[in-house]
Amino acid sequence: MAEQWPSDEKVQRASSDLTGEVSQSSTIFVRGLSYDVMDEQLHSYFEEVGPVKHAFVAKEKPNNTSRGFGFVEFAVPSDAEEAV
């Protein structure tokens, strides 16, 4: 059975400028998710770090299956930094 949650190196800040510097974003990119993780599970998992505004798992259009990655937007940018 595949691991449900990604390892720490698979959680990244979602935005950076062209120099590679991370901007003060409140959104993180999460890769390596198990294909059975739902939006609600992603939301509750990261809510342990801080208040989450929005979390979603990217899905394939035709059959609505997970693509194995997602995004989490925190209410506070410092919580996104802590999650990384």
Q: How many Å apart are CA 22 and CA 42, to the nearest integer?
A: 23
Query: pTM above the 0.85 mark?
Result: no
Q: Domain range for residue 59? A: 10-83
- CATH code of the domain in which 31 resides: 3.30.70.330
Residue 73: beta bridge partners?
27, 54
33 in any annotated domain: yes
Strands 52-59 and 66-74, sheet pairing: antiparallel
70 in any annotated domain: yes
58 in any annotated domain: yes
Residue 47: beta bridge partners?
none
Specify the number of domains making up the chain.
1
**DSSP 3-state assignment of 41?**
helix
Per-residue pLDDT of the chain (84 residues; tens, 9 = 90+): 345 555 555 555 554 444 444 456 899 999 999 999 999 999 999 999 999 999 999 999 888 899 999 999 999 999 999 998
